[in-house]
């Protein structure tokens, strides 16, 4: 029976009695144990999908963008939709680590590594599309970078696509370094807790010879904090710039000042949804329940609700501006082609998933219910994909001059690329779970230590069977 104190207290961040040693064991066991059947089954699926992806990529490069569903006027479709979707997902990771670190949110520690990995892998997927979707990827690969070429032409920096190139590459590099810096001490723990010589050498190499010296920790803390401080505006800037890919144009449905905040919120929204989608099964099958507790899930679902509301506001503003401006082209997009056009169902699906679904998280019972949480998070991911699809395709579909208007239908290549990247992402994630501590070990120990010194009582009570 629960004591009054427990009722007042929030769920502890680490449940059960642990010291650093047991934390080591429980958190690293998944790495040291033999991989189970489930893991291999999933890996197989992932690899199969990755195969499909490479096939689709090969066809695209060999035959051309014609193998996609794109046309004139719909110059962008699945490719850019997937790009924005993946980039969006890629935002939660850094945001969780950085922002929550700055705000001293203790609960971040047990999910940040996980989220950062997700960021990296998501950005990798995203990075595929801007290159693939061009007509001549073999040039796009390097002509967008400012290098002194023999034809003496420089890139054109007024184009949002150039901003994109810089933003996304900066974001990837930053996330990678931020992630790796956080990883070094844990790699050292792996090196030192390894039993086989091979593991010791391999992890030793990646640990770079970290020995936890106080003189290093001294710089490490400030460096890590600074990276977090820089990553935070970066996250905001990246999706702002992604939104400018559209907002800077003159196309009705794209040409909107509300885009930057609403895209950033959408990115965090979808990012947190994806973290939930991944971590809920992970904590179950990898035995992280004691560090990724209901309290974490609860906190994340609150973020989901909050960002969901911002996104909803974005939708509202789009429609309001279209109506209030009295611009016939704008209002056609928002009141005719989206709700009644070829993809009307996508429009309503988007509204349901992104506006209606998050509202359940007003209720404590829903936030505590793992199943509801997971389904909710998956729906949000679906909704966010369709949001981007609607913004891109339906806006292009019916623009200024009606004789341009056309329909769109994806090809098998479009679908394979999308499914393929999901599988590739999954594959990378499985490997990450298997070979790298998915929970920031040193930080958890730090937390445990703080809790330990803060309130020994809870520890003892928690220790009761």
Using the contact rule CB under 8 A, the part of the chain among 94-102, 143-151, 288-296, 419-427 near other proteins is: 143-151
Nearest one of 247, 227, 426 to 321, comparing CA atoms: 247
Helices marked H in 361-440 — which ranges? Answer: 364-368, 370-389, 395-397, 412-435
Q: Which is nearer to other proteins, 76 or 424 (CB)?
A: 76
The CA distance from 339 to 391, in Å, is: 12
Using the contact rule CB under 8 A, the part of the chain among 67-75, 82-90, 301-309, 375-383 near other proteins is: 67-75
DSSP one-letter code for 285: H
Six token digits for residue 343: 């993809």
- Among positions 50, 94, 189, 243, the unique one binding other proteins when judged by CB under 8 A: 189
456 binds other proteins (CB under 8 A): no
104 binds other proteins (CB under 8 A): no
The CA distance from 278 to 36, in Å, is: 18
What SS3 class is residue 288? coil
The CA distance from 90 to 274, in Å, is: 9
5 binds other proteins (CB under 8 A): no
340 binds other proteins (CB under 8 A): no
Q: Is the dihedral of CA 169, 417, 315, 280 positive or negative?
A: negative
Using the contact rule CB under 8 A, the part of the chain among 45-53, 86-94, 290-298, 439-447 near other proteins is: 439-447
Q: How far apart are CB 231 and other proteins at their closest, in Å?
A: 8
Q: How far apart are CB 429 and other proteins at their closest, in Å?
A: 24
Using the contact rule CB under 8 A, the part of the chain among 97-105, 132-140, 283-291, 380-388 near other proteins is: 132-140
What SS3 class is residue 103? coil
Q: Which is nearer to other proteins, 9 or 328 (CB)?
A: 328
260 binds other proteins (CB under 8 A): no
427 binds other proteins (CB under 8 A): no
- Which positions from 191 to 230 touch other proteins by CB under 8 A, shown as an x/- string? xxx----------xx--xxxxxxxxxxxxxxxx--xx--x
Quick count: other Cβ atoms within 10 Å of Cβ 47? 15
Q: Which is nearer to other proteins, 46 or 204 (CB)?
A: 204
- Among positions 89, 111, 144, 278, the unique one binding other proteins when judged by CB under 8 A: 144
- Among positions 3, 104, 150, 156, the unique one binding other proteins when judged by CB under 8 A: 156
- Name the CA dihedral angle for 59, 63, 65, 67, rounded to a multiple of 10 degrees: -70
Q: Which is nearer to other proteins, 104 or 403 (CB)?
A: 403
2 binds other proteins (CB under 8 A): no
What SS3 class is residue 436? coil
291 binds other proteins (CB under 8 A): no
Nearest one of 262, 253, 414 to 332, comparing CA atoms: 253
Helix 412-435, helix 109-132: angle, nearest 10:
150
Using the contact rule CB under 8 A, the part of the chain among 49-57, 86-94, 344-352, 401-409 near other proteins is: 401-409
311 binds other proteins (CB under 8 A): no
The CA distance from 162 to 38, in Å, is: 43
The CA distance from 392 to 298, in Å, is: 33
The CA distance from 262 to 387, in Å, is: 11
In b/e form, how buried is each residue of 197-213, taking b as 16+ CB within 10 angstroms? eebbebbbebbeebeee
- Among positions 5, 9, 10, 19, the unique one binding other proteins when judged by CB under 8 A: 19
The CA distance from 256 to 358, in Å, is: 24
Using the contact rule CB under 8 A, the part of the chain among 6-14, 41-49, 151-159, 345-353 near other proteins is: 151-159
- Which positions from 402 to 421 touch other proteins by CB under 8 A, shown as an x/- string? xxxxxx--------------
The CA distance from 377 to 278, in Å, is: 10
Q: How far apart are CB 171 and other proteins at their closest, in Å?
A: 8
90 binds other proteins (CB under 8 A): no
- Among positions 14, 24, 99, 303, the unique one binding other proteins when judged by CB under 8 A: 24
- Which positions from 367 to 396 touch other proteins by CB under 8 A, shown as an x/- string? -----------------------------x
Q: How far apart are CB 266 and other proteins at their closest, in Å?
A: 19
173 binds other proteins (CB under 8 A): yes
Nearest one of 126, 94, 46 to 428, comparing CA atoms: 46
316 binds other proteins (CB under 8 A): no
CB 372 within 8 A of CB 366: yes
326 binds other proteins (CB under 8 A): no
CB 69 within 8 A of CB 410: yes
């Amino acid at each position: 029976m629960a004591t009054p104190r427990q009722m007042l207290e929030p769920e502890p961040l680490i449940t059960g009695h642990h010291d650093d040693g047991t934390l080591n064991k429980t958190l690293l066991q998944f790495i040291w144990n033999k991989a189970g059947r489930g893991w291999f089954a999933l890996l197989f699926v992932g690899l199969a999908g990755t195969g499909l992806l490479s096939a689709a990529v090969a066809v695209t490069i060999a035959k051309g963008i014609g193998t996609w569903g794109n046309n004139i006027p719909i110059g962008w479709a699945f490719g850019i939709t997937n790009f924005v979707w993946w980039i969006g997902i890629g935002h939660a990771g850094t945001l969780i680590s950085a922002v929550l670190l700055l705000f001293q949110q203790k609960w971040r520690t047990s999910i940040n590594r996980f989220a950062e990995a997700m960021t990296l892998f998501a950005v990798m997927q995203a990075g595929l599309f801007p290159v693939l979707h061009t007509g001549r990827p073999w040039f796009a690969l390097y002509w967008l970078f400012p290098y002194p070429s023999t034809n003496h032409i420089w890139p054109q920096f007024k184009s949002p696509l150039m901003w994109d190139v810089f933003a996304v590459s900066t974001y990837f590099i930053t996330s990678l370094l931020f992630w790796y810096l956080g990883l070094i001490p844990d790699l050292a723990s792996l090196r030192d807790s390894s039993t086989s010589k091979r593991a010791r050498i391999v992890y030793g190499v990646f640990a770079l010879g970290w020995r936890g010296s106080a003189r290093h920790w001294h710089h490490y803390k400030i460096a890590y904090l600074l990276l977090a401080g820089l990553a935070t505006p970066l996250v905001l800037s990246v999706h702002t710039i992604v939104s400018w890919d559209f907002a800077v144009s003159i196309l009705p449905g794209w040409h909107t000042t509300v885009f930057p905040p609403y895209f950033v919120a959408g990115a965090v929204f979808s990012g947190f949804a994806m973290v939930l989608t991944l971590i809920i099964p992970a904590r179950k099958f990898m035995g992280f329940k004691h560090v990724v507790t209901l309290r974490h899930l609860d906190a994340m679902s609150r973020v989901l609700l909050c960002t969901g509301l911002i996104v909803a506001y974005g939708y509202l503003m789009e429609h309001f501006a279209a109506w209030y401006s009295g611009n016939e082209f704008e209002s056609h997009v928002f009141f005719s082609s989206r709700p009644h056009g070829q993809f009307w169902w996508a429009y309503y699906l988007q509204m349901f998933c992104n506006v209606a679904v998050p509202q359940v998280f007003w209720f404590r019972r829903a936030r505590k219910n793992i199943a509801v949480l997971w389904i909710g998070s998956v729906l949000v991911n679906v909704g966010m994909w369709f949001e981007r699809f609607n913004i891109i395709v339906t806006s292009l579909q019916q623009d200024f001059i009606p004789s341009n208007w056309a329909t769109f239908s994806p090809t098998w290549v479009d679908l394979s690329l999308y499914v393929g990247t999901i599988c590739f992402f999954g594959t990378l994630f499985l490997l990450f779970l298997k070979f790298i501590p998915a929970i920031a070990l040193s930080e958890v120990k730090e937390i445990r230590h703080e809790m330990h010194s803060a309130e020994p009582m809870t520890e003892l009570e928690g220790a009761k069977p």
